[in-house]
Homo-oligomer: A and B are copies of this chain.
C-alpha cells in the first residue's frame, strides 16, 4: 500500500496548493492513505472547521496538528465531532479531541495515525516517548494495525531521530513536522521504519517559515514587535513524503520526497 504525508499547511497559499493538487495526486500516485498536518492552515495559526472539511474533501484521510492546534478556539469544540482530526496525543488528560485514530485506507488496510509533540525547545507536554509506547502497545503493527504513521511535531532533530529509532520496526513511517523546512534525510531505518526528520511545509518558501518576511526580520533586528505575523502570499510548494508499506509486515519498502510548485527544487516519487 502507498501512503502520503504532507507537512504543515500554512495559510491561504498552502491550502490552495493542497486543495488543487491532492485529488490528482491520489489518482496519479495510487495513494491508499493521505495524512496532512493542518496546524497552520488558518492564517498561519490553527485550523477552523471549514478548513478541516476542505482538506478532507480534497482527500486527507487524517489531519494532524501541533503546538498551534488550538490557536483557533473553535477547534476545542469541533475536534470532538471530527474523528479525522488529531491533536498531539501527549496533551494532558482531559484535552478535547484525540491524539490517535485507527482509519480504514482505500485498500481496506487499517492505519493507525498518531500525532505526538516533542518537548525540546517546545512547551512541556507529557512524555512523548512514553506516550508512543502506550499507543503502539494498544494497537500494534501487524496485529490491530496494518500500517502505523507517526507525526512527531518537534523542533530538535535529536528528539525526532530518537523517536524514529525508538519506534524503528514498530511503525511504518515516523516523520517530523514543525520546522517548516523539508529535510533530505529520508531513509528506511535499520528495522524497517521509514523516517524523515521534517517533511517541510506546504507554503510559500519566500518568507520566514511561511510567514511574510517583514515582521520576522523587524523583530530579529530590533527585538521589538511592530505588527502581527501574516502568512506569505507567494506561490506555495507542496511538500511531503510518499511511502510504500509492505502489506504483510507493515514496514516500509521505499520513502521518497514529493515537492511540487513554488520555489523549491521539484521532487516526484519514481514508480
**A residues engaging B (CB < 8 A)?**
70, 76, 91-95, 119-121, 123-127, 129-130, 155-159, 161-163, 165-166, 179-187, 189-190, 197-198, 200, 205-209, 213, 216-217, 220-225, 257, 259, 263-265, 267
Cα(A232)–Cα(B206), bound, Å? 36
14 contacts between A and B (CB under 8 A): A91-B224, A92-B221, A129-B220, A130-B221, A157-B209, A159-B220, A161-B207, A162-B213, A162-B216, A181-B185, A182-B184, A184-B184, A184-B267, A187-B264
Check B265–A184 contact: CB distance below 8 A: yes
Check A190–B206 contact: CB distance below 8 A: yes
Which DSSP category, helix, strand, loop or mixed, fits chain A's interface?
Answer: loop
Cα(A125)–Cα(B198), bound, Å? 24
Closest to A161 in B: B208
Check B162–A263 contact: CB distance below 8 A: no
What's the least CB distance linking A188 to chain B, in Å? Answer: 9
Check B166–A181 contact: CB distance below 8 A: no
Closest to A219 in B: B162
What's the least CB distance linking A46 to chain B, in Å? Answer: 11
Top-5 shortest CB links A-B:
A119-B124, A184-B184, A182-B184, A124-B124, A121-B121
What residues on B are CB-neighbors of A159 within 8 Å? Answer: 220
Cα(A166)–Cα(B208), bound, Å? 11
Copies in the complex: 4
* Interface residue from B92, B161, B198, B216 paired with A127 (Cβ < 8 Å): B92
Cα(A121)–Cα(B120), bound, Å? 9
What residues on B are CB-neighbors of A200 within 8 Å? Answer: 184-185
* Interface residue from B130, B181, B185 paired with A92 (Cβ < 8 Å): B130
What's the least CB distance linking A124 to chain B, in Å? Answer: 4
Cα(A120)–Cα(B189), bound, Å? 30
What residues on B are CB-neighbors of A205 within 8 Å? Answer: 185, 187
Closest to A220 in B: B162
Closest to A129 in B: B221
Cα(A206)–Cα(B191), bound, Å? 11
Query: Contacts A93-B130, A208-B165, A224-B76 known; A216 to B158 CB distance under 8 Å?
Result: yes
Cα(A191)–Cα(B176), bound, Å? 31
